[in-house]
Chain A
């Protein structure tokens, strides 16, 4: 049996140290490390990254095409996408891609104003929870008919999330899910083990209790709807009455309420950081500091954990009644009516294709939506943490998604604020659930399904 070759590059850590230690540009450092990673993967595993990364050697002046690519990304993440952009530009000397990385809500603020003024970016990344309003207003050119790709080579879950009326609207580039990051040292010190395949809620809660000491919290519970929804689903409940065309929140129904009650009770036991603790240091910071044993998050946090001397791995979410997780997926979207549509589509094809996804996967932050890359050493490299990256892939068939309607972001904002009151301020859960229905149902009614 031939052992698969492994990529040995710890990209994010290397990239950070390159940048921290020297004065090289962010892109140059990142791209060099990505190139090294690809080289380590072997030519048969990845198309050769063109001369890399050392600079473009020709500068054709005629028929140059400029593409503006906007995304939400913090600096490390932006560097990964910049590596993708540079790899594309090396193969397409006639194309200049101007990347506009923005933080947090700035991404949506700028997109909204840019569309309103009629000068949107040509290509932009959006989460499936956010793209409905843009489809509704006709701002997104459906990418499906323009891309000549075999969608069966991609995981069906993110493709379905970005499909409306049987037409693929944006091209998904990742398919992450909620998993349990755990500190192996703290587990060993407490004598706690995680069952190999799956674990029940009771085992999870017992582990959290056993891991909790004066200095360590057993688990960090994030009281946001998209973090709690998998527990509701796992218990047989629903967060809304109809995922496709929701009209009412159903967190107060018995199965959903029971799941939330379990979580709130665990929080009340003191095994999870309080609101004051979280205000002082985020859950990810506490996990890095070794004061949090288990942290529930998606693949996005992997690079920053790799940069530390943390001994960590990932495990699936605990099961209440049935195994389930929640989809996290972003996609490349094409703005309607852009002059450079052909070049923009070609860039999207590249970025969401084999080479683009392999570069992004080496960054450690994404679970590739392209099955061949997801199952390759670029993602499943067992020599870098987390050793059990397969957990992310095992969760894919279990993924469920939140509704895709125009007002869903507002619904989440309202529900998140109220759930925080139950978790952090001790407000009675039933009172919170009533207010959630009163506040969120009108938003659901005001929302519409993009056509």
Chain B
């Protein structure tokens, strides 16, 4: 029963990806399949070569890598530090941090598009590959702060009493004791932020003008209205865009579960 449920659940996630891969192997410029065409008669791996003719995906891939390599650690560090303040700060500090988190979580993202664009453009940060990093941090950090707050709340208070007795500053206490002890929260938030940053196209759409500075998600989006006969190329591009994220998950999978469960 449990195995069947696992297979069903896995199938729900894997099937769309499998169809995406199979669709990417269909011959382009031919009429779309009438109905479900599970395995194409003549699999065209060359579609992946052709993606480059429609999309400068290596550049977009590098841009996406640059974004996540900055956005993920910054989000984790900011969230961790704010979560520490929420747990151990003064009453006033805790109030402000809590209010900021609540605001960040409750205000619809779409309501902030224009103010964010105006703000970031006004300080001269627009139209860079990394222009979207502040938006990504703002979108994911409020949740991350609460995540770290809960993680820190589970740590023995005696650790922090000893740290205070030993004369460790708050900054050192956070860096040396709290942050390493909350590795599970760090991994979880890093993964969430990675997925968000990797697939985010709205922020670059509004903040990054030059197509050569776009991340992969926005570049891929420009193929979304392709003619039906070019869907195989679009799907091949989608596979290329999905592969790095899937790879990150596969590589870090063991580490995530190990850290999350505390097993060695």
Contact = CB atoms under 8 A, between A and B. Distances in A.
Interface of A: 13, 16-17, 19-26, 29, 68, 73-76, 78, 98-104, 106, 109-110, 112-114, 116-119, 121, 280-282, 284-285, 288-291, 303-304, 307-308
Nearest to A115: B114
A74 B227 contact: yes
A103 B205 contact: no
Contacts, number: 118
Contacts of B225: 73-74, 103-104
Interface of B: 28-32, 34-35, 49-50, 52-54, 113-114, 117-118, 121-122, 126, 202, 205-206, 209-211, 221-230, 233
The 7 closest A-B pairs by CB, nearest first: A74-B225, A304-B227, A103-B225, A19-B53, A113-B206, A285-B228, A117-B121
B196 to A, nearest CB: 19
Contacts of A17: 29
A106 B219 CA distance: 12
A75 B52 CA distance: 12
Given A74-B226, A116-B117, A291-B34, A109 B54 contact: no
A289 B114 contact: no
A76 B53 CA distance: 11
B222 A113 contact: no
B229 A288 contact: yes
B230 A76 contact: yes
A280 to B, nearest CB: 8
B230 A113 contact: no
A110 B224 contact: no
Nearest to B114: A116
Contact of B230 (A13, A16, A22): A16
Contacts of B52: 23
Nearest to A121: B209
Contact of B118 (A101, A117, A121, A308): A117
B229 A100 contact: no
A113 to B, nearest CB: 4
A304 B225 CA distance: 12
A206 to B, nearest CB: 26
11 contacts: A23-B49, A68-B209, A76-B226, A103-B222, A103-B225, A106-B205, A116-B114, A284-B228, A289-B34, A307-B229, A308-B29
Contacts of A116: 114, 117-118
A19 B53 CA distance: 6
Contacts of A75: 54, 222-223, 226, 230
A113 B210 contact: no
Given A20-B233, A288-B32, A102 B53 contact: no
A296 B202 CA distance: 33
B29 A20 contact: yes
A104 B224 contact: yes
A113 B203 CA distance: 11
A115 B23 CA distance: 39
Contacts of A282: 228
Contacts of B223: 74-75, 103
Contacts of A114: 117, 206, 209
B205 A119 contact: no
B223 to A, nearest CB: 6
Nearest to B27: A20
A150 to B, nearest CB: 34
Contacts of B126: 117, 119
Contacts of A100: 209-211
Contacts of A73: 225
A113 B54 CA distance: 27
Given A106-B205, A117-B114, 16 more contacts: A75-B226, A78-B222, A98-B210, A102-B205, A102-B222, A109-B202, A112-B114, A113-B206, A119-B209, A281-B32, A282-B228, A285-B31, A285-B32, A288-B31, A288-B228, A308-B229
